[in-house]
Structure 1
Amino acid sequence: MNRTSAARSATATTSAMSMADLAAAMTVVVIWGLNFVAMKLALREFTPMQLGAARYAFAAMPLLLMIRRPALPLRWVAAYGLLQGLGQFGLLFMALRLGMTAGLASVLMQTQVFFTALMAFAFLGERLSRPMLGGLVFALAGLACFGIEVIAGCGTSADVTLAGLLLTIGAAGMWGASNILARHLQRHYPDYNPIQFVVWSSLAPVLPFLLLTWLVDGPSAQHQWMDASISAWAGAAYLGWFATVMAYGLWTGLLKRHPANQVAPFGLLVPVVGLLAGMLLLHESLSGWQLAGTAWIAAALVIILLAARGR
């Protein structure tokens, strides 16, 4: 398929989402919003590499024994698992450990919208509509509010480090790359099953995470597996079964049915849930800058969704 045909295909598949798809998108928003609290709590007892191995072990087992392999070449299944596992969550877990709050991480991860839109334009020929560009400007203004708070060291961001900030943005870039890979697979293998795909791709990062656990954490840290509490293991199970299998299964299904530029903006609601969950469950305070940033991001989503419904 040449570039012109790809652009026509992307335009043809753009449509307003059904109520079922909107419900799926909002379910993902809630799961991923609470996801950051689960990560922060689990990282009190696990190292980032240990949590990565535990998360994807839960995501792959026991479902791997009950779900057939997706009708895709294994190289694409493994590539998605490594992009999402080692790339997105490996970097994010390190960020949360080195200096990043759960609420702010949920916001900064939404730069995936920019990465997804730019990569979709560059590699898939998906056009950037005017409402999308307007929404991105609003979202950028919202993220700028959080950036100002971190850089200026004001508000509640004293515990956010530069390393944590850069690692989180890197994780968002990996999320954008996995979005594009999912959309690419939809074009070439339109009948693949999203749940099969997510479960089998979850197997790919387990061994690399275990290897990194041994190399990075060292043998002395291995006792943490046995000493971890039930709540830490419950957090890892939530990350594996709900935040990975269920949420990414729904998310990948949305990417199969709609252009990446139409699906990715739903992620802009995740920080709203993440900030509120951080306040209620982790007692993270919400500053004026964070309120302003959340308002800008909510406005961006409204612009994009209203434009999609109008089409």
Structure 2
Amino acid sequence: MTRRDSLLAVLVTLIWGGNFVAIHVGLQDVPPWLFLAIRFLFVAFPLVLFIPRPKASWQAVVAVGTFMSLGQFGLLYLALSIGMPPGLAALVLQAQVIFTMLIAAGVLGERSTSRQLVGAAMGTVGLVIVAVGFGAGASLVPLLVTVAAAFSWAIGNVVARAAKVSSGLSLVVWSALVVPLPCLAVSWVVDGPEAMGAALAGFGWAALWSTLYTVVGASLIGYTIFNGLMARHPAGSVVPYILLVPPVGLLTAWLALGEVPNLLEWIGGAVMMAGVAVATLTGRRRVAAPPEPVPARRGSAQQGGVGHPGQQRPQ
């Protein structure tokens, strides 16, 4: 990856790291499925009226919307609403890194380098350390729902990679059309029309701020950049950067919600960042010194017609 693309990947991790607290704030007043429908309604409209459809099959666009948007965030919003702490969610969701590499290897035939495998292993160890340090803050059900969200995200990553859409923004906007109607239907069944109406009537500043952050920051900016990177680079080069999201998420939850990381969580975050560096940063290659010119014999310039003494004709 170029330095510019590496910096863009880091920007995405910063945006997504704060996304968990933003979602948590909005879910205090709005049911999860209704809140997700509102988010992706504004991701799609009005931009879908002005942005051309991505140069990919309808099947690919629908699959990205189903797995990367509806599946991932539907399960994540559900997990957060039933007790998953935002900091821990930022950690567990990054299981998608390993899932993506495995699925890309099986479906796309991509093979990770030994450096990437070592980095992914280090990142996984870091995730485990953070999980141990975080403790039993969440019950088993929210944890499993978050792991399922990570698996859905990984499938969406591989579909986006296979589609190779040059415009990440068009894929984000058009795939968002898949989300609102199913979410509204689920909310109608689970929450009921009265609860939905009350939530919309009491839609306050906190919910509005959360919606703006998730729509503009996490979806339109974050996924536009991320899908563009996935289209230009192998999954094994892009996805490890997302291991930076848990430390950012833990720090944001600490500052905003008082979820204070302990020593093990800080150590785990450091190990994860080291894993990202190993998996994504290439070492400098040594440049071999140019061979010393071979002295030409006296008179060879005139006899061989090769120019000045000491120069060799390029082969």
TM class, shorter-length:
0.7 to 0.9
Aligned match of 2:267 in 283, 292, 297? Answer: 292
Report the alpha carbon displacement of residue 216 of structure 1 after superposing the two structures with TM. 1.2
Alignment of 1:205-244 (within 5 A): 205-222=179-196, 223-244=198-219
Check the 8 A contact 1:115/1:173 in 2, yes or no: yes
Could you say which residue in structure 2 is the equivalent of 1:8? Answer: none
Among 66, 70, 74, the residue aligned to 1:86? 70
**Separation of aligned partners in 2, 1:237 and 1:74:** 28
Over residues 168-224 of structure 1, what are the superposed CA-to-partner deviations in whole Å (9 max), with x where a residue is unaligned? Answer: 1111111111110011111xxx5x422111101111111101111101111231111
Q: Please tell me whether the aligned partners of residues 58 and 237 of structure 1 are also in contact (alpha carbons under 8 angstroms).
A: no
Match of 2:176 among 180, 184, 202: 202
Aligned with residue 193 of structure 1, among 164, 167, 176: 167
Partner of 1:183: 161
Query: What SS class does the counterpart of residue 267 from structure 1 fall into?
Result: helix
Structure 2 matches for 1:167-178, cutoff 5 A?
167-178=145-156
Greater displacement, 262-271 / 225-234: 225-234
Question: Do 2:79 and 2:145's aligned partners in 1 also have CA atoms closer than 8 Å?
Answer: yes
2:6 matched residue in structure 1: 22
Q: Once the 2 structures are TM-superposed, how far is the Cα of residue 115 of structure 1 from its aligned partner?
A: 0.3
Match of 2:248 in 1: 273
CA contact (8 A) 2:130 2:269 kept: no
Whole-angstrom CA distance in 1 between matches of 2:3 and 2:155? 27
User: 2:70·2:178 contact (CA, 8 Å) conserved in 1?
Assistant: no
1:194 and 1:148 map into 2 onto residues whose CA distance is 36
User: Is this contact kept in 1: 2:30–2:203, CA < 8 A?
Assistant: yes
Residues 66 and 277 of structure 1: is their aligned pair in 2 closer, same or farther, counting only changes over 3 Å?
A: same
Q: How do 1:2-21 and structure 2 match up within 5 A?
A: 17-21=1-5
Q: Please state whether the residue corresponding to 1:203 is helix, strand or coil.
A: helix
Does the residue aligned with 2:178 lie in a helix, a strand or coil? coil
Shift in Å at residue 273 of structure 1? Answer: 1.1
Instruction: Give the corresponding residue for 2:98.
Output: 114
Determine which structure has the larger helix proportion and give its number.
1
How has the CA–CA distance of structure 1 residues 212 and 253 changed in structure 2, closer, same or farther, with 3 Å as cutoff?
same
**Equivalent position amino acid for 1:260 in 2:** A
Conserved? CA contact 1:40–1:96, under 8 Å:
yes
For 1:178, the aligned partner's letter is G
1:308 Cα deviation after fit? 7.0
Q: Which residue identity is paired with 2:161?
A: R
Return the alpha-carbon distance in structure 2 between the equivalents of residues 263 and 147 of structure 1. Answer: 23
Aligned-residue offset at 1:306? 2.6
TM-score (norm 2): 0.86
Rounded Cα–Cα distance in structure 1 between residues aligned with 2:57 and 2:117? 35
Residue of 232, 251, 255 corresponding to 1:257: 232
- How far apart, CA to CA, are the structure 1 residues paired with 2:55 and 2:120? 35
**RMSD between aligned residues:** 1.7
Normalised by the length of structure 1, the TM-score is 0.87
Q: Percent identity?
A: 38
Deviation readout 1:218-268 (Å, 9 max, x if unpaired): 123111111121221221122112211111010010011100111000101
Tell me: higher relative CO, structure 1 or 2? Use CA pairs within 8 A at least 6 residues apart: 1
CA distance in 2 between partners of 1:310 and 1:141 (Å): 28
Instruction: Give the Cα–Cα distance (whole angstroms) in 1 for the partners of residues 155 and 97 of structure 2.
Output: 11
Paired position in structure 2 for 1:132: 116
What is the aligned length?
285
Whose Rg is larger? 2
Residue in 1 aligned with 2:299?
A: none
| Cα distance in 2 for residues equivalent to 1:250 and 1:34 | 16
Partners of 2:205 and 2:212 lie apart in 1 by: 10
Unaligned runs of 5+ in 2: 287-315
Deviations 1:45-81 (A, max 9, x none): 1111011101101111121122122222222211111
